[in-house]
Amino acid sequence: MITNQLALIKREIWEHRSIWVTPAAIAVIVTLGVLAMLMFASGFAAELDAAIFGAQNLAGEPERKAALTAFFLSTSWVFIIALMILTVFYSLDSLYAERKDKSILFWRSLPVTDAETVISKLITAIFVLPAAAVLGIIGTHIVNLVIASLWVSMKGGDGGMLVWGSVSFLDNWLAAFIVVVASGIWMSPFVGWFLLVSAYTKRSPLLMAFMPLILIGLLEGIILRTHVFAENVLARGDGLPIFRTVDIERFIETEEWRVGEGASSLLTHLDVVQFISSPAMWAGVAVCALLSTGAIYVRRFRDES
């Protein structure tokens, strides 16, 4: 069972190269962007240039940490947004492509059950894609810190101390990992729905996936004049229960006007217990299981001849 799953997941990574090409491409784009920014800024003034990575111009350690955390956060979100788009396209393609290129009979000629196949695609969507995004985030941060520290050193600053010494690696990476995995689990009912559409539809999986969702939302609003579906399903992404309530004091301690702990520690904004104990999260997992079972059923009973 585990050997089969590993082989099946490996197959997904071979087939859907975008799983690793997208994070790699984003990493390259972000890095080139940072380099361009550094070169552009250095054309104006050395002080401005050095300030970009929170070097010596910044007031002190907390400010430097906050500046680097802001950089971490902004680049991480690029990966997370790309991950969401990638998950939609991957899930919709995963059971559709094998029927479109008619390779499904080959895959089904081997001793693998339909359930194992669909589960491998579910695991890929919910865990492998996020894992690739986290690796992309970590890689981008390391490369950019190397560039930043070299740059600061070239400008006469202590790159090692000013850049590397001011980073909360584990805090930021762990936070990115938790947010990415929690997002995958939170949005899993959509993954289940996309897998079902992917197994069922004969054409245009993207249209077939989103049209019913939009229509239900519209019809509910027009006929019942309520927005239960829109608020609970279509806007589900807004309610990810991993974040604590925003408290400005955690970013800036207004009494003394100094940078608060929350500005340099992303973990302080996350509440894993709140996420795990969220009924809406577990309801989503149940819906995902139901829809994925539907995808298994469709793949098993569908006759492609």
Cα angle for residues 125, 86, 71 (degrees, 5° grid):
105
Q: Minimum Å distance from CB 112 to another protein?
A: 6
Determine if 109 is a binding residue for another protein (CB under 8 A).
Answer: yes
Q: What is the total count of residues that contact another protein (CB under 8 A)? A: 25
Determine if 304 is a binding residue for another protein (CB under 8 A).
Answer: yes
**Which of 8, 179 has the CB closer to another protein?**
8
Residue found under tokens 């299981």? 289
Q: Minimum Å distance from CB 115 to another protein?
A: 9
Q: For residues 117 and 9, give the distance between their C-alpha atoms in angstroms, rounded to a whole number.
A: 9
Determine if 35 is a binding residue for another protein (CB under 8 A).
Answer: no
Interface segment toward another protein; rule CB under 8 A; list 64-72, 95-103, 140-148, 241-249: 95-103
Interface segment toward another protein; rule CB under 8 A; list 96-104, 179-187, 195-203, 214-222: 96-104
CB 185 within 8 A of CB 281: yes
Q: Minimum Å distance from CB 91 to another protein?
A: 18
Interface segment toward another protein; rule CB under 8 A; list 7-15, 56-64, 162-170, 184-192: 7-15
Q: Minimum Å distance from CB 114 to another protein?
A: 8
Determine if 20 is a binding residue for another protein (CB under 8 A).
Answer: no
Indicate which single residue of 110, 222, 246, 273 sits in contact with another protein (rule: CB under 8 A): 110
- DSSP helix/strand/coil, 270: strand
Cα angle for residues 292, 4, 198 (degrees, 5° grid):
30
Beta bridge mates, 259: 252
Determine if 112 is a binding residue for another protein (CB under 8 A).
Answer: yes
Determine if 238 is a binding residue for another protein (CB under 8 A).
Answer: no
Long-range Cβ pairs for the range 274-282 (8 Å, 24+): 274/241, 274/242, 274/244, 275/182, 275/186, 275/240, 275/241, 275/242, 278/241, 280/232, 280/239, 280/241, 281/185, 281/186, 281/241
Q: For residues 115 and 295, give the distance between their C-alpha atoms in angstroms, rounded to a whole number.
A: 9
Q: For residues 222 and 172, give the distance between their C-alpha atoms in angstroms, rounded to a whole number.
A: 45
Residue 6 burial by Cβ neighbours in a 10 Å radius (0-12, 13-18, 19+): exposed
Q: Minimum Å distance from CB 256 to another protein?
A: 59
CB 123 within 8 A of CB 188: no
**Which of 115, 287 has the CB closer to another protein?**
115
**Which of 2, 273 has the CB closer to another protein?**
2
Indicate which single residue of 43, 44, 101, 279 sits in contact with another protein (rule: CB under 8 A): 101
Determine if 202 is a binding residue for another protein (CB under 8 A).
Answer: no
Cα angle for residues 57, 58, 63 (degrees, 5° grid):
165
Determine if 105 is a binding residue for another protein (CB under 8 A).
Answer: yes
Q: For residues 66 and 61, give the distance between their C-alpha atoms in angstroms, rounded to a whole number.
A: 9
Determine if 1 is a binding residue for another protein (CB under 8 A).
Answer: no
Residues binding another protein (CB under 8 A): 3-4, 6-7, 10-11, 14-15, 98, 101-103, 105-113, 301, 303-305
